[in-house]
């Protein structure tokens, strides 16, 4: 039950709450959906209407809403030990979680630094690259190569290496320390270019960049296994394995940003090795680590990296961390989250229902306003007006906004990204619920099509 009315909540929100990616031209005017409670894959608003949560929160509510056991373990940990200083001590929950992550991650990833979320996990990985190369006597080897459409976070270093529509941002980035490669999306390839040839070109992008910049100046390559916020862009087969080989060739660290793709989204604990066949130097994770119940991130570091800076001849501090690194309540909740995924067999469940999810997604191509659909595991994207290069951006945004509004009216929350809508529902979703979600989408697309065709 809400202590305030929906209108009071909206008024306070309009007056005081600066949301992420808020539209400043509409400051003080937004009429936002007021989330009141959740259960399973559903949310209810303050007026009591039920919605399917298509994006699963922010790609994160993997075990679904309303898990009493998560609240119970958080409450117990709060009573036992709500906080401790990670500078001075350790505690059972963070130590156990670090050991569990090392067990679940690709072989050799045995060191874990806990962070406050995905952005700080990426910052930690990049700062560690700086630290290691300074300790190796390579102070100029700091440039990070990233991809257009990649998204890695909002903190300074994470934003620096994010390649999404940068021209609309007025925040500064560290331009001297990042180099962006062209979009990897296979949909951009010319009609006469095969998927294999496209992969060759994208791998060559990386090698040419390293050679042109200078291998002595390139410190790392950062890549999402799937560029989720960029529109669920799935690189061509073999791309990640071959780019890792290029990194090894030129002594460049490989950072795999699994903030979205880990903890079951693709049916595995981590996608890097199990789906894409790579063993990176760093893996960043967050979101599904706690299923969004509490904020927590982690940077996993491979033994080969630690071997460069640890040992009796390396008497030096590692000066990176956060007040809430290894927060015992967050770590206890993460352990319970992992236990739920294990005991309920959610990884196998994703593998079982994903083909149906992807089949229903594929069927949306029939809509005249859908140019493309893409998906893997339980993450998908609808893109409108694909290839309509002359379509004004305002019209494309209007398409996405209109689909968002119609879906919400019909009881489905989607996440519009210009002319795209992305989906990452809770991993507990059933085939019947998948049909419920896509039945709404089909009707919504039909309604929107009458306005745009």
Task: Give the full edge-to-edge strand order of the sheet including 370-376.
Answer: 370-376, 379-384, 420-423, 415-417
Name the residue with higher pLDDT: 377 or 315.
377
Rounded distance between C-alpha atoms, residue 450 and residue 275, angstroms: 40
pLDDT for 382-430, tens place per residue? 998 744 556 677 788 888 889 999 999 999 999 888 888 999 999 999 9
Q: What is the rounded average pLDDT of the residues 173-183?
A: 95
The alpha carbon torsion through 450, 53, 1, 22 (nearest 10 deg) reads: -70
User: Which alpha helices (DSSP H) does 182-224 contain, by range?
Assistant: 195-213
Which of helix, strand or coil describes residue 51?
strand
pLDDT for 48-63, tens place per residue? 999 999 999 999 999 9
- Residue 364, token pair as written in the block: 């949306």
What confidence score (pLDDT) does residue 167 get?
47
DSSP 275-302: TT----SEEEE-GGGTTTSS--EEEEE-
> Element (H or E) spanning 443, and its range?
helix 431-452
What confidence score (pLDDT) does residue 387 get?
47
Domains of the chain plus CATH, in order, are 33-63+345-452 (3.90.1150.10), 70-343 (3.40.640.10)
What's CA 426's distance to the chain center, in Å?
14
Is residue 426 within 8 A of residue 64, CB to CB? The reply is yes
Look at residues 112, 123, 179 and name the one whose alpha carbon lies nearest to residue 153: 123
- Residue 293, token pair as written in the block: 């119940």
Predicted confidence (pLDDT) at residue 254 exceeds the cutoff of 90: yes
């Amino acid at each position: 039950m809400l202590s305030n009315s929906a209108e009071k909540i909206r008024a306070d929100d309009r007056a005081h709450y600066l949301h992420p990616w808020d539209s400043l031209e509409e400051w003080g005017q937004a009429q936002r959906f007021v989330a009141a409670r959740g259960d399973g894959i559903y949310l209810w608003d303050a007026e009591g209407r039920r919605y399917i949560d298509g994006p699963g929160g922010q790609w994160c509510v993997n075990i679904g809403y309303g898990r009493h056991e998560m609240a119970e373990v958080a409450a117990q940990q709060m009573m036992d030990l709500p906080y401790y200083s990670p500078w001075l001590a350790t505690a059972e929950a963070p130590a156990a979680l670090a050991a569990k992550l090392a067990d679940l991650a690709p072989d050799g990833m045995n060191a874990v630094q806990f962070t406050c979320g995905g952005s700080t996990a990426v910052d930690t990985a990049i700062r560690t690259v700086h630290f290691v190369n300074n300790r190796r006597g390579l102070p100029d080897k700091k440039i990070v190569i990233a991809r257009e459409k990649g998204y890695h976070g909002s903190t300074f270093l994470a934003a620096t290496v994010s390649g999404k529509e940068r021209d609309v941002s007025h925040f500064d980035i560290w331009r001297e320390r990042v180099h962006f490669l062209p979009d990897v999306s296979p949909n951009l390839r010319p009609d006469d270019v095969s998927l294999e040839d496209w992969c060759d070109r994208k791998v060559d992008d990386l090698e040419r960049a390293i050679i042109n910049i200078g291998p002595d100046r390139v410190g790392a390559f950062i890549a999402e296994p799937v560029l989720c916020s960029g529109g669920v862009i799935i690189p061509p087969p073999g791309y990640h394995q071959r780019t890792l080989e290029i990194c090894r060739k030129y002594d460049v660290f490989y950072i795999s940003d699994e903030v979205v793709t880990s903890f079951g989204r693709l049916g595995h604990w981590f996608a890097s090795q199990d789906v894409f066949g790579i063993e990176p130097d760093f893996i960043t994770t967050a979101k599904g680590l706690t299923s969004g119940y509490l904020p927590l991130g982690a940077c996993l570091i491979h033994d080969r990296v630690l071997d460069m800076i640890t040992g009796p001849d390396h008497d030096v501090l590692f000066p990176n961390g956060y007040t809430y690194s290894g927060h015992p309540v967050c770590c206890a909740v993460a352990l319970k989250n992992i236990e739920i995924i294990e005991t309920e067999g959610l990884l196998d469940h994703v593998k079982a229902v994903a083909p149906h999810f992807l089949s229903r997604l594929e069927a949306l191509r029939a809509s005249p306003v859908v140019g493309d659909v893409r998906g893997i595991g339980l993450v998908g994207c609808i893109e409108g007006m694909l290839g309509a290069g002359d379509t004004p951006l305002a019209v494309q945004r209007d398409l996405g906004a209109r689909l968002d509004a119609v879906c919400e009216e019909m009881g489905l929350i989607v996440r519009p990204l210009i002319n795209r809508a992305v989906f990452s529902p809770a991993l507990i979703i059933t085939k019947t619920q998948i049909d419920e979600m896509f039945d709404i989408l089909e009707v919504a697309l039909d309604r929107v099509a009458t306005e745009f065709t």
